Amino acid sequence: MHITQLNRECLLHLFSFLDKESRKSLAKTCRALLEVFRDPLLWSLLNFHSPAELKKDNFLLGPALKHLSICWYSEQVKVCNIEDWMKNSFQKDFCNRHERTVTEFLLEVCARCPNLLSLTLSGCGHVTDDCISLLLKSCPNLRTLKLENCVRISDRTLEAVTLHGGSLRTLHVDFCRNITQTGLERVREKCPSVTLRAERSANMIPDSKPGKRLMLERASRKQVQL
């Protein structure tokens, strides 16, 4: 019996055991298997382990996507976690390209995946508050949001959670250095049903330049004195 003689349900089940690259390779063998590859029901779960994977055509984004994970830790990508004011021109150019890749992908998720239930982002140094805010608006059923070492995430994301995260039940913002204790307390106050975890975040040094931070501290002291 040839594999293409199996019914659609069996083929989808077989494809579900393969990774993205293997699914794409198998889909190239004949039109019938290509149609299975393009079936949205096959793509309820996606995992990515490098920025380059986001540009490949070996996956499908659609309403069936429920769980999305984008996690990477390679030495090269660690450049993106350096404070912007400390980067040289080469590093900034690299990071700009990386930012465009991540932003464009997440915008596609916002447009095509309204039924997303869980999103995990780890080591994604260019994920912005605006992207997360748009995701919360576009995916109203989102229940789990895990952000680890997403260095550009700030209290604006926490504010978006209080405004648009009505279905959210789990929020992790570990090692997000621009998150403050004030922002965390606001989430705990306004979203008591959300399980919040923020390991080290509010205790890390933010990205403002040392001189700028010192000026802000002095201004704060003057206000207290007045």
Single-letter residue type at 61: L
- pLDDT surpasses 70 at 89: yes
In a domain, 225, yes or no: no
pLDDT at 67 > cutoff 60: yes
Q: What pLDDT sits at residue 209? A: 55
Distance CA 106, CA 219 (A): 38
Domain count for the chain, please give it: 2
Share of the chain above pLDDT 90, in %: 61
Predicted confidence at residue 207, as pLDDT, reads 57
- The verdict on residue 168 lying in a domain is yes
Average pLDDT over residues 71-100: 67
104 is a domain residue: yes
Whether residue 37 is found in the same domain as residue 55:
no
DSSP E strand stretches across the chain: 45-48, 67-71, 118-122, 144-148, 170-172, 195-197
Residues 113 and 134 in one domain: yes
Hey, is 226 helix, strand or coil? coil
Distant-in-sequence, close-in-space partners of 119: CB < 8 Å, separation ≥ 6: 68, 69, 135, 139, 142, 144, 145, 146
Instruction: Mark whether 26 and 93 lie in a shared domain.
Output: no
**What is the rounded average pLDDT of the residues 99-126?**
92
Q: What is the CATH number of the domain that holds 74?
A: 3.80.10
Residues 182, 151, single domain; the answer is yes
| pLDDT > 70 in the chain, percent | 80
Contact indicator for 132, 70 with CB cutoff of 8 Å: no
Query: Count of CB atoms within 10 A of residue 156's CB?
Result: 16
In a domain, 10, yes or no: yes
The CA distance from 210 to 202, in Å, is 17
On the CB side of 219, how many CA atoms lie within 13 Å of its CA? 6
Mean local confidence (pLDDT), 42-52: 91
Is 198 a member of any domain?
yes
- Mark whether 35 and 76 lie in a shared domain: no
Q: What's the whole-number mean pLDDT along residues 106-119?
A: 97
What CATH number has the domain bearing residue 26? 1.20.1280
Q: Which range (17-26, 77-86, 144-153) has the least confidence? A: 77-86
User: Are 213 and 137 part of one and the same domain?
Assistant: yes
pLDDT: which is higher, 168 or 213: 168
pLDDT band at 224 (very low <50, low <70, confident <90, very high): very low
pLDDT averaged over the chain? Answer: 85
Contacts of 11 (CB under 8 A, 6+ apart): 3, 33, 36
Q: What are the tens digits of pLDDT across the range 181-192?
A: 999 999 999 999
Domain assignment present for 77? yes
Q: Are residues 94 and 38 in the same domain?
A: no
Flag whether 226 is in a domain.
Answer: no
pLDDT of 208 reads 57
pLDDT band at 226 (very low <50, low <70, confident <90, very high): very low
Confidence (pLDDT) at 163: 96
> Which amino acid, 74?
S
Residue 69 pLDDT > 70: yes
Residues 181 and 203 in one domain: yes
| Same-domain status, 89 and 138 | yes
Q: Are strands 118-122 and 67-71 parallel, antiparallel or unpaired?
A: parallel
Contact 43, 93 (CB under 8 A): no
Q: Which DSSP letter does residue 178 get?
A: B
Are residues 162 and 201 both part of a single domain?
yes
Whether residues 148 and 210 fall in one domain: yes
Q: Are residues 7 and 105 in the same domain?
A: no
Q: Look at residue 85 and tell me whether its pLDDT is greater than 70.
A: no
Residue 12 vs residues 7, 25, 54: alpha-carbon distances, Å: 9, 15, 23
Q: Is the pLDDT of residue 98 over 50?
A: yes
Residues spanned by the domain of 24: 1-42
> Is residue 120 in a domain?
yes
Cα(33)–Cα(35) distance, rounded to whole angstroms? Answer: 5
pLDDT at residue 156 greater than cutoff 60: yes
Kindly state the average pLDDT of the residues 84-108: 77
